[in-house]
């Protein structure tokens, strides 16, 4: 009995359940000086966990044939395996419900061995303890990973970043090669894969799944998780899965405020094994973290959207007067600190009231949109284009001096004058011209000083016949450009 206890202790000291199986089969084979196999029943099939001294010397098909003869009770019995080229083997079960069945198979007849009977009882208890210990460790690790993930997600912005971090973490935790997160989009009544990890991720990004359609759609509609050991056993499932290596998968709903907002799913475990209840629990734990993070990022995105909308003119898509005033103050202070140039353009559509009176306000709106689009296309990406009010526009140009600013202003003026509506555009726009005033910051200027000089130049441009650019220099002289000028001002 001392030897039996020592053997069981060595198995129990293994660092993990898989390591315990290796120690068990090696120690038992050595103790009985014979070949040995360890089997586990998974999804209705007996599979080899470990072997020693060659185990069953038979082809995989013959091993599968032999497993059909394995008994279902907990008795130690002798099996006649001459049909597969073997002799007598002893069958000793090592687990009890509700644990997955595990059994030891020893070459020769050991049914009368008191040592084997005692060892089987001890090993059953040891394996149960190892399973409980591993489950506890796994739960503790999951809590740590979930906490770490939650902290990381709280620092991210945007649904896509949050979703990608979630699927990457699930892949690591479940050791799954393919993980995806699909979120429901009401506008198209479809689930869309927002983030994916693993091979075929790019192809998954194009998937649109209708609610109640197979797997993801079913999980979304029912709000219930799905755990499948072998998809080939599902009648409605596609029998060919060329992009996947295995046939087992797990999928859980992502719930937020009592509603299903998406589905988190995983397949292709790296070791080829099937997903079990513990994997499903892990997936559900991460889905809870995902829901909180996604709701937070969605709200954050909405806040940013509303904040952005508050700075943009709804008609033209340019920044509005409020945003321009804030940026103008910032850029004036920055220009003073860095002794760098700063230019402001003020532009006004010529004869805009006549366009409204003659063609109507819809035409007037179309003209405003055309001028806004033209101005935005003619400036640098970091210049600030804004609708200042009515038919007046302002363009703030950091690090821009007189020459470069006037060149830009003339480019805008010329493009507006040359603007032609698209052939299919409705309504067709009348001829448009604009007048532009240009002012560059002087030492000691406040924002109002810069705006005032640009405005005065704009009025002078109007007074000189419109469709021209006027600028102020240090001595407030005025330079006029018209459609007939051919050289840039200096």
- Element at 171 (helix H, strand E): helix 159-174
SS3 376: helix
Beta-bridged to residue 39, according to DSSP, are: 48, 103
Residues serving a catalytic function are 391
Alpha-carbon gap, residue 190 to 256, rounded angstroms? 18
Alpha-carbon gap, residue 238 to 85, rounded angstroms? 38
Of residues 395, 398, 373, the one with CA closest to residue 386: 395
Of residues 260, 259, 242, the one with CA closest to residue 251: 260
Cβ count near 152 (within 10 Å): 14
Alpha-carbon gap, residue 21 to 24, rounded angstroms? 5
Of residues 238, 264, 249, the one with CA closest to residue 184: 264
166, 236 in Cβ contact below 8 A? no
Task: Please give the C-alpha separations between residue 350 and each of 282, 313, 428, 433, 459, in angstroms, as whole numbers.
Answer: 67, 21, 18, 6, 11
Positive/negative CA dihedral, 52, 58, 60, 63: negative
Q: How far is CA 297 from the centre of its chain?
A: 12
Which letter does DSSP use for residue 59 in this model? -
* Cβ contacts of 377 within 8 Å, gap of 6 or more: 415
Residue 427: asked if its preceding bond is cis (omega within 30°), the reply is: yes
420, 361 in Cβ contact below 8 A? no
* Cβ contacts of 165 within 8 Å, gap of 6 or more: 149, 152, 153, 156
């Amino acid at each position: 009995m001392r030897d039996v206890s020592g053997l069981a202790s060595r198995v129990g000291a293994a660092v993990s359940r898989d390591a315990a199986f290796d120690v068990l089969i090696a120690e038992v084979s050595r103790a009985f000086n014979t070949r040995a196999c360890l089997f586990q029943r998974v999804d209705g099939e007996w599979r080899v966990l470990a072997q020693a001294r060659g185990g069953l010397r038979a082809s995989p098909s013959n091993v599968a044939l032999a497993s059909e003869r394995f008994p279902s009770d907990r008795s130690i019995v002798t099996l006649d395996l001459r049909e597969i080229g073997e002799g007598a083997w002893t069958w000793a079960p090592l687990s009890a419900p509700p644990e997955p069945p595990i059994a030891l198979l020893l070459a020769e007849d050991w049914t009368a061995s008191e040592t084997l009977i005692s060892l089987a009882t001890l090993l059953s208890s040891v394996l149960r303890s190892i399973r409980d210990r591993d489950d506890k460790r796994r739960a503790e690790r999951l809590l740590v990973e979930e906490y770490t993930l939650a902290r990381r997600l709280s620092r991210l912005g945007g649904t896509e970043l949050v979703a990608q971090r979630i699927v990457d973490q699930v892949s690591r935790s479940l050791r799954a090669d393919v993980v995806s997160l699909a979120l429901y989009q009401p506008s198209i009544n479809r689930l869309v894969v927002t983030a994916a990890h693993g091979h075929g991720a790019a192809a998954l990004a194009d998937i649109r799944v209708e609610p109640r359609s197979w797997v993801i759609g079913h999980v979304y509609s029912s709000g219930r998780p799905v755990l499948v050991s072998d998809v080939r056993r599902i009648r409605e499932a596609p029998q060919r899965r060329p992009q996947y290596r295995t046939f087992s998968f797990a999928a859980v709903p992502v719930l937020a405020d009592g509603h299903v907002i998406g589905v988190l799913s995983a397949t292709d475990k790296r070791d080829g094994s099937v997903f079990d209840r513990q994997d499903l629990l892990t997936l559900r734990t991460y889905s809870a973290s995902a829901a909180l993070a996604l709701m937070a990022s969605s709200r954050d995105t909405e806040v940013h959207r509303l904040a952005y909308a508050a700075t943009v003119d709804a008609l033209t898509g340019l920044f509005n007067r409020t945003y321009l005033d804030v940026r103008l103050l910032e850029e004036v202070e920055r220009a003073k600190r860095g002794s760098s140039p700063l230019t402001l353009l003020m532009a006004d559509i010529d004869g805009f009231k006549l366009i409204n009176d003659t063609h109507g306000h819809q035409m007037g709106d179309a003209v405003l949109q055309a001028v806004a689009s033209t101005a935005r296309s003619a400036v640098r990406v970091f210049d600030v284009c804004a609708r200042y009010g009515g038919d007046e526009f302002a363009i703030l140009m950091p690090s821009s001096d007189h020459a470069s600013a006037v060149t830009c202003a003339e480019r805008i003026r010329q493009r507006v004058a040359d603007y032609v509506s698209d052939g299919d555009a409705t309504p067709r726009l009348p001829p448009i011209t604009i007048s532009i005033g240009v002012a560059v910051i002087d030492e000691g200027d406040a924002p109002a000083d810069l705006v005032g000089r640009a405005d005065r130049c704009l009025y002078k441009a109007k007074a000189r016949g419109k469709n021209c650019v006027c600028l102020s220099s240090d001595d407030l002289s005025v330079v006029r450009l018209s459609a007939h000028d051919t050289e840039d001002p200096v």
